[in-house]
Amino acid sequence: MKHPYIAKRYWKDQSTAMGQSDVMAKSFDDVISLSLGDPDLITHESIIDAAFADAKRGHTKYTDFRGDPELREEICKFYKEEYNMDVKDEEVFVCASACLGMYLALEAIIDDGDEVILQAPYFTPYPQQVELARGIPVELPTYEEEDFQINIERLESLITERTKALVINSPSNPTGNCLTVETMEKIAEIAVKYDLVVIADDIYTSFSYQNPFVPFASLPGMQERTIILNSFSKNFTMTGWRVGNIIAPDYIISVIQQINENVVFTAPSISQRAAIYALRHRNEIQPPMVEEYRNRMFYAAERINQIPKLSVVYPPRGSFYLFMNIKETGLTSVEAADLILREAHVLMLPGDAFGACGEGYIRIACTVNVDTLKEAFDRIEKIELFK
pLDDT tens digits, one per residue of 44-65: 999 999 999 999 999 999 999 9
Claim to verify: residue 305 and residue 238 sit in the same structural domain: no
Q: pLDDT for 9-42, tens place per residue?
A: 888 776 655 445 455 656 688 999 999 888 899 9
The sheet carrying 92-95 orders its strands as: 92-95, 244-247, 226-231, 197-201, 163-169, 115-120, 136-141
Distance (Å, rounded) from C-alpha 339 to C-alpha 345? Answer: 9
Residues 278 and 355 in one domain: no
Cis peptide before 141, with omega less than 30 degrees from 0?
no
In this structure, are 85 and 197 located in the same domain? Answer: yes
Can you tell me the distance from the alpha carbon of 318 to that of 175, in angstroms, rounded to the nearest whole number? 9
Return the percentage of the chain with pLDDT > 70, whole number: 96
**Residue 373 CB-half CA count within 13 A:** 23
User: Residue 145's domain is classified under what CATH number?
Assistant: 3.40.640.10
Same domain, 347 and 218: no
How many domains does the structure of the chain reveal?
A: 2
Q: What is the pLDDT of residue 16?
A: 55
Q: What is the mean pLDDT of residues 183-192?
A: 98
283, 301, 323 - which closes a domain: 283
Question: 105 with 226: CB under 8 angstroms?
Answer: no
Residue type for position 166: L
- Regarding whether 303 and 162 lie in a shared domain, the answer is no
DSSP string, 304-339: HTTSTT-B--SS--BTTEEEEE-GGGT--HHHHHHH
Answer whether 301's CB lies under 8 Å from 308's CB.
no
pLDDT (mean) for 218-240: 97
Task: Single out the residue in 256, 283, 310 at which a domain terminates.
Answer: 283
- One domain, residues 23 and 80: no
Domain membership of residue 344 (yes or no) is: yes
User: pLDDT digit string (tens) for 326-370?
Assistant: 999 999 999 999 999 999 999 999 999 999 999 999 999 999 999
Q: Assess whether 269 and 327 both reside in one domain.
A: no
Q: Does residue 1 form part of some domain?
A: no
Q: Is residue 57 part of a domain?
A: yes
Same domain, 146 and 268: yes
Regarding whether 204 and 178 lie in a shared domain, the answer is yes
Q: Are 251 and 109 contacting, i.e. CB atoms less than 8 angstroms apart? A: no
Can you give the pLDDT at residue 21? Answer: 47
Instruction: Name residue 204's amino acid.
Output: Y
102-130 confidence digits (pLDDT tens): 999 999 999 999 999 999 999 999 999 99
Average pLDDT over residues 132-144: 97
Same domain, 278 and 382: no
Domain boundary among 283, 306, 339: 283
**Which candidate, 321, 320, 122, 354, places its Cα nearest to that of 235?**
320
Tell me whether residue 297 is in a domain: yes
What pLDDT is attached to residue 119?
98
| Residues 65 and 102 placed together within one structural domain of the fold | yes
Please check whether residue 2 lies inside any domain of the structure: no
Does pTM top 0.85 for this prediction? yes
Looking only at the bridges linking them, the beta strands covering 346-347 and 361-365 are unpaired
Query: Is 334 among the domain residues?
Result: yes
Whether 134 is in a domain gets the answer: yes
257 & 335 share domain: no
Range of the domain at 142: 45-283
The answer to whether 215 touches 232, Cβ cutoff 8 Å, is no
Q: Does residue 3 fall inside a structural domain?
A: no
* Listed residue (314, 295, 303) closest to 346, CA to CA: 303
